[in-house]
Chain A
Amino acid sequence: ILHWQPNQGSEMNSQVLEEISQCVETLNGVKEGSCKTSLTFYKPNLQDQSAVMDFPRDFMGISMPELPNKYFLIIRGQRIVLEADSSILVIMEKLQSYKPKAILNFEGELYKLGDFQIRVIKVVPHQTETLKGIMVEIDYLPISSVENSKQIMKEFIDIWKEVVSKKSLAGEFTHAETNYAEYGLGDNYTSQHTAVQYAAAALTQLIQSSQLRS
C-alpha cells in the first residue's frame, strides 16, 4: 500500500485523485470494478473513564468486500491480528465491552495491469463525502510469497512513482514496509496480511489528518 503524502500546505482533493487515476490509465490499466473496505476504530466501554489508558487505543476491525463472511480484528500496538467469522460482530455487540468510535471507508477503483492489480483508494470517513486521504494498493497476482515478490514490487513502485511525478502534483507517494513476522504471519500472503496493512494505513491516515490540521 502506498500513501499519498501531500506537500505541506497543499490540499487533498478530488482533482489529485483524478490525476492519479489517469496515471493508472497511462500505464494501460483497465478498470475492473469498485470495492470498499471498512475499518472501524473501537474504544473501550468503561464505567470509569480514568481507566482508559489501561486499554488498547488502537483496536480496529476490518471488513473486506471480497470476504463478506469474515471480519478482522487488530490491536496494532501489540501486533495482534485475528481473522474471525463475521458473527464476531454479534459477539462484540453482546459483550458491550468495546464500541465503535469512528469508521473509515476505503473506497477503491480496481484496475488490472497485466499481472498487477491496482486499487486507487480514497479514504473517506463514514457517512461523509470528505476526502481525507488517497492510497494505492498494489497486488502482484502470480506470487504469494512476500519475500519473493519484493523485487518485482519495488520495480513496479519505482515505475509508478515516476509516472506520478510527471504530473507535477503537490505531493508524492510514500511506502512503509510492514513487518508481518511481528504479527505471527508467515511469508505466504493472506487476507490477514492485507488487514494488517489497512490498519497501518488507517493510523497513518489519522496522523496525516492531524498534521494537515495543524
Chain B
Amino acid sequence: LPRFTETFIYLVLCEINFRKWVADMEAVAEDAEDGVREIDESETSIGNVPPSDNSLALRPEYGCNWVEITAEFFEASKELDLGELLHDELFGLFEAMSAIEMMDPKMDAGMMCNRGNKVLTFDKAIKAGVLKLNNFSMEELVGIMDCILGCLVTWLEGHSAAQTILTCLYLHKPLSIEDRALRAFCVLTLKLVALINNIVNIAGVYEEEDFQPGLYGYGVCAEVPEARAAAAVREVEEELQRVVKSTRGRQGEAWEPLMQKQHEDAVALFSRVRFLRLLYAALSAIMRRDQVSMQEAERCLASCTELVCIMQNTVGRGLRPKAHKDDDPNRGDYGHMMGFEPLVNQRLLPPTFPRYTRLRTRREALQYLDELVTRIRQCGKITHTHTFKQATEFLERFGELEPCVLSRSIAQVLYLGAGNGSGTGPDDKLWGGQSMADTLRSAAKQFICPPALMPKAAVLNNPQAKQYVDNFFMQCVRPFEQLMQMHGHNRARQRDKVTDLLREFASLQDEADEVDAFLHNVLLKSEQPRPHLAYLGTWVLHHTLRLMLHYLLTGFSLQLYAPHEYHYIYWYLYEFVFVWLVSALTRADALLPDQENMEQQQRAKSSRSTRHKNRKQRKTHRPYGKEIAFYQAQQHLCGGFYKAMVGLREAGKVRLPQQEFDDEKVRYHHRFLPFNVVVTPPPVSYHTFITMTDLSNFPQPVSPSALYHDARNHFFKAKTLLEGITNPNSEMQAILKIVKTNFVVMKLLEGGHKNEDPSPPKFDYTYHSCFPVIRV
C-alpha cells in the first residue's frame, strides 16, 4: 500500500469484525426482500433509499465473490508509522468529521433500527396485526388524535417532519383507514400540514432554526379537495353531536355510568375533530385575504379557543400505552402508542447522530395550540391598520412578543400578500387593495406633506417631474417590502437583515435627495414658488434612523453587549441617533401644518365664504408632539445611562477586560460597522467618541459623584418629558418606572452609597428588554 504523510489507516472496516458486517448486510438484504423499505411511488421519495428488490449480495451483475482480506489488511497496515493516516485525495479529515462510522451506535442512525424490535411501516404493521384500521375504542381514538396533535406542535416548533408528524403511520396511508372519524381527522391533518407549509413558504420569514418545510416525498392528500375533506370531518362531528345530545344526563334522573362515559367520550372526540376543522377553516379563510373571510376566521378561532379548553379537560380520556422498562423519557409515550413508529423515517435522514426529537406531551401540545390560536387572532389584527406606518408599528410590537413562525408568517401574508411577484394579481396588493408604491406615496404624504404629492400640485403638470416622483416610489417598493419582512423574522435574524437594509436605504436616500432637488427647481419656477428641500429626503432619513435605532436596541434585547460596552452604545444613542430622530420629526412637525394650511387656503380661495372660518381654525398644531417628546425622553434616558456608566467606570465598578488582547477602538468600529454604509447621517468615528467624551471637557474636578449627578439630571429630564405625555402607552409607562428608579439610584450613589463596595452593579431588564434598572 502506498504511503501518505500524516495519516494512518482509519478505514472503518478494519475497526469492526468484518464477518459480522457481512452477516448484518445479509440481514438487511432479507429485510429488503420482505419489503421493509417499500418503494411505493405514491409514498416515499426516491432519494437515498436502497433498492428494495435485491441486495448487493444477490445482484447478479455484481457477482458474489466475497474475498476476505482481514489478515492481509492488518498485515499491510503495519507498514504505517504510528500517527500516519491513509486516505483518498477527496476524503480527508474534514470529510471524515461528518462521516459516519458504520455500525457505531452513536453515529450510525440505522443501528438504532437494528436494536430491539423491528421498525414497522404501515403495511408491515397491518400484516403483523399491530395496526388497527377499524373498531377503535374511544380511548384509542382520543389517544391517537392527541398524539398526532403533539407531533404537529413539535413540527411547528421547528423540528423535522420526519421525526414528528411523519412518525404517525396513520398519516402515511390515511385513505386506507376504515374508521370514519380517524380517517377524516388524518386526511385533514395532512391538508393542514400542506396549508401551513404553504403559508410559511410564501411569507419567507423563516430560517432553518424556525421551521423545516421538507416532507420527504410523503403525500399530503393533495388529491382530496378541501371541501370534501372538511365535509368528511363535519359528518363525523354531526354524528358525535347526536351522541352527545342523546347521552346527556336528564334532570331529576340519575346519570347512568355507561351513558355518562359515552357522553364524555363523545365530547372528547367531538372537540378534537371540530377543533381541527375550524383551525383549518380559519387558516384557509385568512389566506383569502378579504374582510369577510377575516371575520369568518375570527369566528372559527374564537371557537377553537373554547374547544381547546374542552380538549384539555378531556386529555385524560386518551389511551396511554403501558410504559416499557427501557423507555427513553425523551420519547414520551409515542414509541409504543399504536400507529406511531419513531424510527420509521430514520433512514431518510442525513447520517448525523441519531437523535430523537423530543415530542411534546399531550398537555404541552394543547397548551401550545391554545397559545397559537391566541397569537393568530392577534396577528390578524394587522388588518385593522390603515397606514403603512401603523402596519410597521404593529409588526414591531407584535415582534416583541417573539411569536412563532406561523403567526409571523400569517401577519406577513395578510399585509404584503401571497403574491407571485408578477405585480398584476390581487395577491400583489397590500391589505386594503393598494399597491405598495401607492401606499408609500400616502405614507410620505402623511409624514411630511411634500408639495409635489399634494392634490393639484403644480408639479403634476410637468411630465418629467411626475415621472421622477413615480419612479422614486417604484424604487421604494423593494426596500420597504424588505423592511416589513425584516420585522417578520425571528429577533436574532432581524439584526442581519437590518445590515442589508441600511445599504438599501442609503441608496434610496441619494435618490430622494436628487428628486427633492429636481422638484425644488421645478417648483421655484412655477406659478406659486415653493421650496421642496428635504421632503422626501427627510422621510427616507426617518426610516434609516429607525433602522439604526432598531439595530442598536436589539443588541440589548438579545443580550449582546457587555457592561463595559454600554457607555459607547448609549452615548451613540444619546448624542446622535435620538438627536437626529428628533430633528427629522421636528422638521416634519413644522412642515406638516404649513402644508396643510396652504392646502386649506387653496381650497378656501375657491370658496370665499369659508375663508374666515379657515383663518380661525389655523391653530398651532403639533402632529408629532407626542412622538418627539418620547424620543427626547429616550434620548435623556440614554444620556443618563451613558453618564452613569462613565461614573461607574471611574469608580472602578465596571469589570473591564484584561488589556492584553482587548482594544476598545477596534471593538467600537466593529460594533458600529453596519452604519458605515449610511451617508446621512455620517458615521461617528472612535476618535470623535474619544474627543467628545474626554473627561477634561467636563467641569473639573470630575469625580464619579459629578457624573452620577449628571446622570440623575438626565433621568429627571426624561421623567418630566414622559409625565407630560397624555395617554402614555405601556412602553412609555415602563420606561417611566425605569427612569424614576434610576434617578433614585443615582442620587444614592452620588451621596456616597456603597462607595467602598467594589462589586459591579446589576442590570435588570425586567421592565424593558433594552433599558435596564441599575441595581447596586
The finding on whether chains A and B are genuine partners in a shared complex, rather than unrelated, reads no
